[in-house]
Amino acid sequence: MTSSDVVHVAVVGYGYWGSKHVRVLSTVPDVEVMVVDQDRGRLAEAKRNFPAVDVTTHLDDVLPRAHAVVVATPPASHA
């Protein structure tokens, strides 16, 4: 497998449920996880628990390289 075969997955919302997605995805070979949350405290927590993940407050920062997106924010925030 080459580096171009890595699957980039963005998890939007690092709360109760999103943190579980990040935990599991972080164990999957050849998956790189990016975490998006509007709360910088939650991003700091994600980085503490999973130093390898990229974190950002803006979905637009990760969409260009994301192959898949997990939406784990409250339903009212869904499109």
Q: Which residues bind ligand NAD (CB under 6 A)?
A: 12-18, 36-39, 42, 72-75, 77
Residue with smaller CB distance to ligand NAD, 21 or 32: 21
Please identify, using beta-carbon distances, which residue of 18 and 32 lies nearer to ligand NAD.
Answer: 18
For CA atoms 53, 60, 72, 36, the dihedral sign is positive
User: Which residue blocks in the chain are alpha helix, DSSP H?
Assistant: 16-25, 40-49, 59-62
Q: Which residues fall within 8 angstroms of residue 67, CB to CB, at 6 or more apart?
A: 7, 8, 9
Nearer to ligand NAD, 5 or 58 (CB): 58
Minimum CB distance to ligand NAD, residue 6 (Å)? 24
